[in-house]
Chain A
């Protein structure tokens, strides 16, 4: 199946919780495979925007299209990694069980995962470096390992577009590196990877394109052209706590061409 429209297209998207608008008038078009970062301060509505794109929170206005189609028609081509804290890690499943959940969408109702799904799941675990803990209960993993299990589950979806919600939150540096490398491989294989991210330094280092979000899109485009001091100032205005981060990010950007 060849894409008939832009990979992802958000048009005039507005989301509200109750009567309080969280993000508004978001226009965003991503038309080629890349590593795409959604960057912004805490409470800027980054995760909400991602959930809205996936139909997990209702839109007050606007529309979202994937490959020029509504999500319902191309769901199997869209992978998702939710925030790690949203699930109970004491749940009685092991690592393999969780990764197999990535195959449920294709399996459909009532069919149980078989040999083919297990092989795929093992492959995905191998890619995130967790093949040796496949049988472990998920609560007995480190935060970084848990995040990689979620990534492996998304890989098992065999999608063309991946959405990741704060995959680096509470994750050790080694797991971060590993995750970024896997995402890079996905991009190289022709997938689009959209990541909600909060750390400006790693953002400048890894993402091809970024959108700076503070309840609306402040700026979007190639990372080098978008992470400018002016744009960052506008995005983080009033968030004094990140000024230090910001300075480092600008410094980091200065080092990379």
Chain B
């Protein structure tokens, strides 16, 4: 009894750690993505992952996390590649191309995942958990793997933060001064794809992009510096991920993804209203103060 309890709590702790690391890294990577105004790229990558999960299962017959996530990553990259090709060769606009990739790849993914049992792949049960996220099935080994991926992603961002910030702020100047702008863009989008895939088990394909987008947007309210924003965004991602996972553990059958997104949305709402300077309340106060000082200026006159 005590041994079993100890085992469970070890697993729970490790899974929580892994999810926390993924949340942090997603927020960190997401900052670069949002600053470069590529927030929807993550969405395209995320929705493409289901096809990869299904194909990896079909190709190998295995359903361990590593196999499925490798498939998901490949599919995410293919989805992003389609995005690039669509824009370059069909002159489809950015938003339309993104919507196209999201819709088509997701339709394909859902068809595959939901059709597998009907086609005789009885042991495919569980793949649909990648739709909305389910951490209950995660093992300690899975969690360590996710934590390792998250650490690598954070390390890469730390290494190229200067270059990525330059490209995000002023790509023309970056190109004119000799920086490989598209190379740096590919690196950032590749990191986003990586974090989308790492967030898949906890948050699921439909909502994982929120873990990449909401934390940086919330963090932006509190600071005017990129470095601070990146760290803060990571912390918000961490809190949201852990809170969501903890909440979903309170009732069996509760999907994790929606709860993670709700937790992130709460942080966003607090930031939107309460942040100094950029928050809604502060801006209202500033505006009315400006009005007041105008009035008092008027009264000073002769």
Contact = CB atoms under 8 A, between A and B. Distances in A.
Contact of A105 (B159, B160, B178, B225): B178
A75 B173 CA distance: 12
A110 B159 contact: yes
B177 A87 contact: no
A55 interface: yes
A82 B159 contact: no
A77 to B, nearest CB: 11
At the interface, is chain A mostly helix, strand, loop or mixed? mixed
B169 A91 contact: yes
B95 interface: no
B170 A92 contact: no
A157 interface: yes
B169 A87 contact: yes
Contact of B163 (A76, A109, A153): A109
A56 B162 contact: no
Contacts of A55: 175-176
Chain B's interface size range is: 20 to 34
Contact of A93 (B163, B173, B220, B225): B225
A101 B226 CA distance: 13
Given A92-B223, A94-B225, A56 B175 contact: yes
Interface string B136-178: 0000000000000000000000011011011011101101111
Interface in B220-258: 220, 223-226, 229
Given A92-B226, A93-B165, A109-B163, A56 B172 contact: yes
A91 B176 contact: no
Contact of A86 (B168, B170, B220, B229): B170
Interface string A55-91: 1100000000000000010011010101000111001
A104 interface: yes
B35 A91 contact: yes
Contacts of A109: 163
A137 B37 CA distance: 19
A72 B180 CA distance: 12
Among A51, A92, A94, A137, the most chain B Cβ lie within 10 Å of the Cβ of A92
Given A56-B172, A80-B173, A137-B224, 20 more contacts: A54-B175, A76-B178, A78-B176, A80-B177, A86-B170, A87-B169, A88-B37, A91-B35, A93-B165, A93-B169, A93-B224, A93-B225, A93-B226, A101-B166, A104-B162, A104-B177, A104-B179, A107-B162, A153-B173, A157-B177
Interface of A: 51, 54-56, 72, 75-76, 78, 80, 82, 86-88, 91-94, 97-98, 101, 104-105, 107, 109-110, 112, 137, 153, 157
